[in-house]
Amino acid sequence: MKNFDIPLRMRRLRANTGIRAMLKETQLVPAQLIQPIFVTEGETPEAVASMPGVERLPIPLLVEKCRELVSLGVYGVALFPKTPDEKKTPDGREATNPDCLICRAIRAVKAAVPECVIFADIALDPYTTHGHDGVINAAGTDVDNDASVEILCRMAVENARAGADFVAPSDMMDGRIAAIREALDAAGLTQTGILAYSAKFASAFYGPFRDAVGSKKNAPNKVTGLTKKTYQLAPANRREAIREALADEAECADMVMVKPAGVYLDVIRDVRENTLLPLAAYQVSGEYAQIQAAAQLGWLDLKACRDESLLAIRRAGADLILTYFAEAYARDWQNSGE
């Protein structure tokens, strides 16, 4: 058979395993992953039905899980509480209790696994009866930005005092990064970092997470029109996401984040090109659940799709990825001998 006269043959660079490994442009190692973990009271783990393989962990099991993760090279964990219903209030005051579930969890992990890097979620939705990320104004028509920021500052200080390495405001209130930085510094917590959920979109992919933390009472109010869309970003808006990230950088965030990740790869790239800060992206519960569900039906290869989805997020520009796949990916990485 005649060979074509093709001097440029790109396939030479894909010819065998060794060449492909040498020329791999994007690397994904366990240390670049952060494992989100749901924390519950009591002594028994609780399965999250909409997230196969994910459980809410009581504090003793949380400590063991963090020790395990560090041994696998996953140093970061993001902790989210399932607050008992009887402790939820309209103003979410339990969030500022120094002995709340998440503060006790942080102290326990730091005492047992000091090298574990803890990211503490700062938002009121796990603590409020209405499921919003802040407190609602007297008219019931909107989340009160400034009143919410005041509470979030107190919450951030208590989480930092408990030992969190980073507080991670996920509420999307205006001005909260500067206010939290000021509150932390005033409390002498100058070494506590801030990971800002800068571009958090009003996404349909958060459903399983809300199951996990018991925060589902946030459907649009038919009377007032109150919805999370009044503070989370519109999925159609790229430029606004960049503005949010740059505003958080100006307010002294140490890292910024895009959430969700997989359907916002363009935004990850946009933010990456506009800031020198470390950039995180959150592969959210719905992204995790859809891969798991399709794999359970035999429609997709779980491991291959997991790895491809994570690699895409890294390739788009994320330095760190929050993902429920972190532990499984790290185990496979360790077993591969890489």
Q: Is residue 77 part of a domain?
A: yes
- CA-CA distances (angstroms) from residue 88 to 91, 127, 214? 8, 5, 11
Burial code (b: 16+ CB inside 10 Å, e: under 16) for 39-60 equals bbeeeeeeebebbbebbbbbbe
Q: State mean pLDDT over 255-263.
A: 98
What SS3 class is residue 79? strand
With beta carbons less than 8 A apart as the criterion, state whether 164 and 116 touch. Answer: no
Query: What 3-state DSSP class applies to 242?
Result: helix
192 in any annotated domain: yes
Checking if the pLDDT of 223 tops 50, the result is: no
- Counting the structural domains of the chain, the total is 1
pLDDT over threshold 70, residue 218? no
**Does residue 67 carry a pLDDT above 50?**
yes
Domain-embedded: residue 64: yes
88 in catalytic set: no
Q: Is residue 85 part of a domain?
A: yes
- Which range marks the domain in which residue 149 is found? 30-336
CA angle in degrees (0–180, nearest 5) for 176-167-285: 100
Residue 219 has pLDDT above 60, yes or no: no
Reduced to 3 states, what is the DSSP secondary structure of residue 169? strand
Residue 8 forms part of a structural domain: no
192: Cβ contacts below 8 Å, ≥ 6 apart: 160, 164, 165, 166, 167, 184
* Residue 221, pLDDT score: 59
**Is 200 among the residues known to form the active site?**
yes
Closest CA to 38 of 307, 337, 288, 313: 288
SS3 203: coil
Instruction: Count CB-CB contacts under 10 A for residue 175.
Output: 12
User: Domain for residue 273, yes or no?
Assistant: yes
pLDDT above 90: residue 201: yes
Question: How far does the chain reach from its first CA to its final CA, in angstroms?
Answer: 41
242: domain CATH number? 3.20.20.70
Pairing of strands 255-259, 279-283: parallel
Q: Is the CB of residue 320 less than 8 Å from the CB of residue 32? A: yes
| The pLDDT of residue 36 | 98
Q: Do 61 and 104 touch, CB atoms closer than 8 A? A: no
Give the pLDDT confidence of 152-173 residue by residue, as tens digits: 999 999 999 999 999 999 999 9
Compute the average pLDDT of residues 31-49: 96
Model confidence over 80-97: pLDDT tens digits? 999 999 999 999 999 999
Report pLDDT digits (tens) over 263-307. 999 999 999 999 999 999 999 999 999 999 999 999 999 999 999
Helix (H, G, I), strand (E, B) or coil at 281: strand
Q: What is the pTM of this model?
A: 0.94
Cα-based angle 57, 327, 336 (whole degrees, multiple of 5): 155
Instruction: List the catalytic residue out of 82, 88, 228, 259.
Output: 259
**Which of these, 258, 241, 277, lies nearest to 316 by C-alpha position?**
258
- 18 within a domain of the structure (yes/no): no
Give the span between the Cα atoms of 306 and 328, in whole angstroms: 10
| The one catalytic residue among 65, 200, 217, 222 | 200
- Asked, for residue 13, whether it belongs to a domain, the answer is no
Residue range 209-235: mean pLDDT, rounded? 77
* Each residue's pLDDT tens digit, 129-155: 999 999 999 999 999 999 999 999 999
User: Looking at the predicted structure, is the pLDDT value of residue 211 above 70?
Assistant: yes
| 92 within 8 A of 152, measured Cβ to Cβ | no
